[in-house]
Amino acid sequence: MCGIAGRIVTGGGQLGRNLVELMEAQEHRGADSTGFAVYGPMRDTGYVLRGMGFDKRKIDSDLVDFEHILRDHASDFISEPTVTIDNNAHYCFRMEIKDPKDIDAWVQDADTLTDRIEVQSCGRSLEIIKDIGGAAAVADKHGVRDMVGTHGLGHARLATESSVLPNASHPFWARPFSDVAIVHNGQITDYFTWREKLERKGYRFLTGNDSELIAVWVSDQMKSGLTMQQALTNSISSIDGVFTYMIANAEGIGFAKDRFAMKPLVVMDRNGDLAMATEEQAVRRVFEDEGDVINYDGPSMTALWSVGNRRFAA
Amino acid sequence: MSEHIVDVGKRHIKEINEEIQEAAGQGKEIRVVNTLSRHNLGVGLPDGTKIAFEGSVGYYCGGLNVGATIDIERNAGWACGEGMSKGHITVGGYCGMSCGAAMMGGTIHVKGDAGPRCGVAMKGGNIIVEGKIGYQSGFMAHSGRIIALGGAGASCADALWQGEVWVVGDVESLGVDVNVVEPTAEEVAEVDAILDPLGLKDNSRNWRKMVSGQRLWYFESRDASAWLMI
């Protein structure tokens, strides 16, 4: 069991506060870790990176080595990275960087440091904030409530098959595509089959979490030129298991649901102002009054909502 | 009979249910407001309780009901009336996945559609859905009746046992090991007797009655054709 959520705020606004509300209402579905994908103001150049290091005693040396790799790819820090630490061994960071010459090649090189430091999101607008603990704890630590933006995702994790560390938490970035994130509720039962296939194609997995597979799988679909809608539709027949996952990019949010109709998704749509969650009681934190609720309860379902409040495919 | 109003809001569910149980014990009619689709409301209500939920409720509302009359104004979440043995639940809108799961008796009346696996593993009682029943409804129903007046989703009545699924309208597809049979006049009269008190009797209906083909029921693992079914 996990809980997922999405939110599109018409015209942009207090997105972070709403995402936290959605996840607080679903904390009983898993409080091992909580994560948020926040799509804030879009920049023309440069990326915001979010991530973690595994040992806070090595922050300085980690960042020096990370900077070297950035410079090897004609990039650098735009401003001094900010680091968040607490009693845990790990640390979390936020960086703004200049555009690497080739983002794919840079990600490959940056991945050589993933036993020490891991980039968890890279976006013109996307920032993934994820950490261990419930929604309020993670929100307080990282200032999520104050974040503004147009749309975003949330995830409450009940850890099962992989570790309870921020890197095994959701959302997952669909590396190396900037601004693409997924959250997932379910189990992927052909995980090892797909992982082997994708690793043979050169993809690298950073965790043992089956949800990471969806992010990597989506990357592979996008690399082959498919649209998000096509990837969503293909996933239903290609990936085995019981799942509902949501994917977001700079333009909007989509979801796909397995053939067995096991994992729910509830949506309230107020003229394009959207709240989506595993449980209806969560969307009621955003829209408290009684209103029409769309239950995506059937098998093999997909939908895509744009930030421009148009439902641009279904 | 005096009325007791329970305000849900963000209060702890245990506290709310204790208030409901106390009012029920005093023989009061109960009206629950500000429900906010919260879970586990009105579980295990005693015989004779009359309770109305204004708005929508979350998961397991009316579960383990032993004789209460429960009226839900709008939608109900998953497993409404799960394990109930007696009583009557009315859902004014949509009823989520696994409506009436493993129920043993009583009636659930859904005025809208019902989600996937309506009546899963039910062991008795009746579920009447004025709209459509979702994917794999009636899955492994041991007994009881599901009556859908607005069609059925895919894999209808999959792996049914002694339960029955009655449908008017389109059925997207049948599940595994299902036989569609012509109901007798006596059987139709029985169903009409269930629908009549709800104002839903209509003599012109064209019923499809689904029962078990009994091959999974007596599954023989050495029979290759039995495996092909699943």
CATH code, domain carrying B123: 2.160.20.60
Token pair 């019902």: residue = B114
**Segment A163-188, tens digit of pLDDT:** 788 888 899 999 888 999 999 999 99
Alpha-helix residue ranges (DSSP H) falling in chain A: 15-24, 59-72, 103-110, 135-142, 191-200, 210-223, 228-238, 280-286
How do the domains of chain A map onto residue ranges? 3-42+125-306, 43-124
**Segment B55-84, tens digit of pLDDT:** 999 999 999 999 999 999 999 999 999 999
**Segment A230-273, tens digit of pLDDT:** 999 999 999 999 999 999 999 999 999 999 999 999 999 998 89
Residue pair B58/B41 in contact (Cβ under 8 Å)? The answer is yes
Residue of B nearest to A260 (CA): B135
Report which DSSP code applies to B5. Answer: E
Query: Between these two residues, A205 and B38, which has the higher pLDDT value?
Result: B38
| Interface test mutation site (partner A, options B37, B75, B176, max chain A beta carbons within 10 A) | B37
Does A229 have pLDDT greater than 60?
Answer: yes
Indicate the helix (H) or strand (E) that contains B72: strand B66-72
What is the pLDDT averaged over residues A217-228? 91
Q: What pLDDT was estimated at residue B191?
A: 97
CB distance B94–A290 less than 8 Å?
no
What is the pLDDT averaged over residues A123-130? 96
Contact residues, chain B, for A297 at CB < 8 Å: 96-97, 115-116, 134-135
CB distance B96–A297 less than 8 Å?
yes
| pLDDT < 70 stretches in chain B | 1
Of B110, B163, B160, whose CA–CA distance to B133 is shortest?
Answer: B110
Largest pairwise CA distance in chain B = 64
Give A242 to chain B, closest Cα distance, Å. Answer: 14
Q: Which domain holds residue B20?
A: 3-229
Of the candidates B39, B117, B154, which has its C-beta nearest A281's C-beta?
A: B39
| Interface test mutation site (partner A, options B8, B61, B132, B135, max chain A beta carbons within 10 A) | B135
Residue pair A50/A94 in contact (Cβ under 8 Å)? The answer is yes
Helix (H, G, I), strand (E, B), or coil: what is residue A10?
strand
Matching CATH number, A43-124, of 3.10.20.740, 3.30.70.600, 2.40.50.140, 3.30.300.130: 3.30.70.600
Does A310 have pLDDT greater than 90?
Answer: no
Q: What pLDDT was estimated at residue A309?
A: 46
Confidence of residue A96 (pLDDT cuts 50, 70, 90): very high
Does A312 have pLDDT greater than 60?
Answer: no
> In whole angstroms, how large is the CA radius of gyration of chain B?
18
CB pairs below 8 Å between A and B: how many? 53
Q: How far is CA A84 from CA A51, A54, B210, in A?
A: 10, 12, 61
Q: What pLDDT was estimated at residue A128?
A: 97
- pLDDT above 70 covers a percentage of chain A that reads 98
How deeply is A158 buried, as exposed, middle or buried, from its count of CB atoms within 10 A (0-12, 13-18, 19+)? middle
CB distance B77–A279 less than 8 Å?
yes
Q: What pLDDT was estimated at residue A167?
A: 84
Contact residues, chain A, for B75 at CB < 8 Å: 280, 293, 295
Residue of B nearest to A280 (CA): B37
How deeply is A230 buried, as exposed, middle or buried, from its count of CB atoms within 10 A (0-12, 13-18, 19+)? middle
Helix (H, G, I), strand (E, B), or coil: what is residue A230?
helix
Confidence of residue A313 (pLDDT cuts 50, 70, 90): very low
Helix (H, G, I), strand (E, B), or coil: what is residue B203?
coil
Does A44 have pLDDT greater than 80?
Answer: yes
Is A280 an 8 Å CB contact of chain B?
Answer: yes
Give B86 to chain A, closest Cα distance, Å. Answer: 27
CB distance B116–A281 less than 8 Å?
no
Residue pair A253/A304 in contact (Cβ under 8 Å)? The answer is yes
Of the candidates A281, A290, A298, which has its C-beta nearest B135's C-beta?
A: A298
Contact residues, chain A, for B74 at CB < 8 Å: 290
| Interface test mutation site (partner A, options B8, B13, B35, B36, max chain A beta carbons within 10 A) | B36
For every residue of chain A, DSSP letters joined together read: --EEEEEEEEEEE-HHHHHHHHHHTTGGG--SEEEEEEE-PPPSS-EEEEEEES-GGGHHHHHHHHHHHHHHTT--BSS--EEEE-SSS-EEEEEEEPPPSSHHHHHHHHGGGTTTEEEEEEESSEEEEEEES-HHHHHHHHTGGG--EEEEEEEEE---SS-SSGGGSSPEE-TTSTT-EEEEEEEETTHHHHHHHHHHTT----SS-HHHHHHHHHHHHHHTT--HHHHHHHHHHHS-EEEEEEEE-SSEEEEEE-TT--S--EEEEETTEEEEESSHHHHHHHS-S----EE--SSS-EEEEETTS---B-
Confidence of residue A314 (pLDDT cuts 50, 70, 90): very low
| Tokens (6 digits) for A215 | 């992010």
Of the candidates A279, A283, A297, which has its C-beta nearest B134's C-beta?
A: A297
Matching CATH number, A3-42+125-306, of 3.30.420.40, 3.40.630.30, 3.60.20.10, 3.40.50.720: 3.60.20.10
Does A42 have pLDDT greater than 70?
Answer: yes
Of the candidates B58, B78, B135, which has its C-beta nearest A299's C-beta?
A: B135
Peptide bond into A176 cis (omega under 30): yes
CB distance A298–B59 less than 8 Å?
no
Q: Provide the domain count of chain B.
A: 1
Rounded to the nearest 5°, which phi and psi values hold at A194? Answer: -70, -40
CB distance B56–A290 less than 8 Å?
yes
Of the candidates B36, B96, B115, which has its C-beta nearest A288's C-beta?
A: B36
Does A197 have pLDDT greater than 90?
Answer: yes
Confidence of residue A198 (pLDDT cuts 50, 70, 90): very high
Of the candidates B74, B153, B154, which has its C-beta nearest A290's C-beta?
A: B74
| Tokens (6 digits) for A46 | 């440069």
Report which DSSP code applies to B166. Answer: E
How many Å apart are CA A246 and CA A263, to the nearest integer? 12
Q: What pLDDT was estimated at residue A164?
A: 82
